[in-house]
Amino acid sequence: MTISDSSSTALTHVDAVIEARWVVTVDSNKRLLEHHSVIVKDAVIMGVLPTALARLKYAASSWVCLDEHVLIPGLINLHTHAAMSLMRGIADDLPLMQWLHEHLWPAERAVVDRHYVKDASLLACAEMLSGGTTCFNDMYFYPEATASAVGQAGMRANLGLTVLEFPTHYASDADDYLQKGFEAHDSWRGNALMTSSIAPHAPYTISNQTFEKVLTYAEQLDLGIHTHLHETLDEIAQSHAQYGMRPMQRLAELGLLGPNLVAAHGVHLLPAEIEILAEFGCHIAHCPTSNLKLTSGIAPVAALLDRGVNVSIGTDGAASNNRLDMLSEMRLAALLAKGASMDATTLPAHQALEMATIKAAKALGLEEKIGSIEMGKQADMVAVKLSDFAVSPCYDPVSHLIYTCGREHVTHTWVAGSLRYCNGVYANIEPIELKEIIQAWQPKLKQYKH
């Protein structure tokens, strides 16, 4: 890689020109371009054109030559809990409800405050940036603290305004959660990199009355809704016992199904429920690693895709994954879909990449801004090096991204045209800061280790 400056007055001046061996646009034409350059000015992609032509037309403050790399849109993590990064590994090899009740929730009651959330979210942002994630859809307490970490890292995020019925250090009841969430939402309203959704935790933790309030506020404020749905069989059995119906039927009767709903997991869905999700234009955040690790099951991705449901990919939190690694998540999603359907053509590589980019952008209502490399969109991009011996030879860069590469092959991550990560160096995060965060919190959480 070389970066050079140009001062020629005969050329059009832009902020950056990024030359790449390959560019995967993830646009409607699914283009794979060779020896092309992306032109960036004022955070926006001005054009994608052959490198030889770009050299004749442009001068740039930053000229990046990536002749061994594939350039892709920034990856979008559609479901996570960033501040759980410091709880990575404290309660492994347990099913979901035992994991929650006996370990995660007690640990959260003991340590979670604004300071914790800021520190843990910054650690998560660093992990995600280094793995090519430029945007994440979050759900956690103290979203204003997460916003502070996101702002420092220079990432893009959709921050969930978490709602529960029971008291925590963060809020006393559902109304208090909503009020605190709206105050947080107002605090970042002018930040172009941050959006919001209302995040009722799950049907088993939210009453009908609160769901009705969530729907009203979401419609009034034009916000999305982000919740867990049909993650486990226990959740469904509990709903039958309490409400006499499955969770999704309950949400349907309450009017929550629609194109502004992102439902995380969707593991246990009946064929009729998949039809309803398609009819209402809902979005599923598929979290294959977490679902396997917590023995929740395998989501019916092939059936969802066959019916036209918009399925995207999330990591869930680091406490249940234990990585915030979208490259490995895409690979697992593709392999699981093939194995579960017994059809090798299910979820091919380019479709897996779409699920982590443009499909996720659509789920967040951001498909006009991010999710593909096209003129007029924000310059959220990632460079992945394909020349290392361990990933050579390369015959198909898109196939290589999904089935061969790991996050260690990510070399550059841009958000809104700004280089936020480059070969181990962050623009706004110091390694010593991350080390101090880990050293400060690990002793406090260690007692909750399973």
Structural domain total, the chain: 2
Distances, alpha carbon 380 to alpha carbons 199, 285, 413, in Å: 25, 21, 8
- CB-based contact 373:26 (threshold 8 Å): yes
pLDDT band at 448 (very low <50, low <70, confident <90, very high): confident
Across 201-210, average pLDDT:
98
Residue 375 lies in a domain: no
Does 61 share its domain with 88? no
Does 136 share its domain with 207? yes
Task: Tell me what pLDDT residue 449 has.
Answer: 81
Does 68 share its domain with 181? no
Q: How far is CA 191 from the centre of its chain?
A: 18
Residue 170 lies in a domain: yes
pLDDT band at 145 (very low <50, low <70, confident <90, very high): very high
DSSP for 204-237?
GG--HHHHHHHHHHHHHHT-EEEEEES--HHHHH
| Predicted confidence (pLDDT) per residue in 38-81, tens digit | 999 999 999 999 999 999 999 999 999 999 999 999 999 999 99
3-state secondary structure of 63: strand
Beta bridge partners of 386: none
Does 47 share its domain with 180? no
- CB-based contact 316:95 (threshold 8 Å): no
Does 130 share its domain with 157? yes
If one counts every other C-beta atom within 10 angstroms of the C-beta of residue 367, the result is 16
Residue 421 lies in a domain: no
Does 68 share its domain with 82? no
Q: What would you measure as the largest C-alpha separation in the chain, in angstroms?
A: 74
Give the CATH number of the domain where residue 48 resides.
Answer: 2.30.40.10
The range of the structural domain enclosing residue 175 comes to 75-363
| Predicted confidence (pLDDT) per residue in 274-304, tens digit | 999 999 999 999 999 999 999 999 999 999 9
Strand order in the sheet with 156-163: 75-80, 133-140, 156-163, 194-200, 224-229, 261-265, 283-286, 310-313
Q: Note the residue count of the chain.
A: 450
Residue 432 lies in a domain: no
Residue 222 structure tokens: 């034009």
CA atoms within 13 A on the CB side of 155: 35
Task: Check pLDDT > 50 for residue 2.
Answer: no
Give the Cα separation of 115 and 138 in Å (integer). 17
Does 94 share its domain with 234? yes
| Predicted confidence (pLDDT) per residue in 402-423, tens digit | 999 999 999 999 999 999 999 9
Across 106-135, average pLDDT:
97
Give the CATH number of the domain where residue 239 resides.
Answer: 3.20.20.140
Does 221 share its domain with 234? yes
Give the Cα separation of 217 and 205 in Å (integer). 19
Residue 333 lies in a domain: yes
pLDDT band at 5 (very low <50, low <70, confident <90, very high): very low
Does 196 share its domain with 233? yes
Does 190 share its domain with 66? no
Q: Amino acid identity of 146?
A: T
Residue 398 lies in a domain: yes
Q: Residue 278: which residues within 8 A CB-CB, separation 6 or more?
A: 307, 308, 309
Task: Check pLDDT > 60 for residue 318.
Answer: yes
Task: Tell me what pLDDT residue 9 has.
Answer: 55
Residue 430 lies in a domain: no
3-state secondary structure of 126: helix
Residue 132 lies in a domain: yes
Does 53 share its domain with 128? no
Task: Check pLDDT > 90 for residue 217.
Answer: yes
Q: Is the peptide bond before 260 cis (omega within 30 degrees of 0)?
A: no
Does 154 share its domain with 299? yes
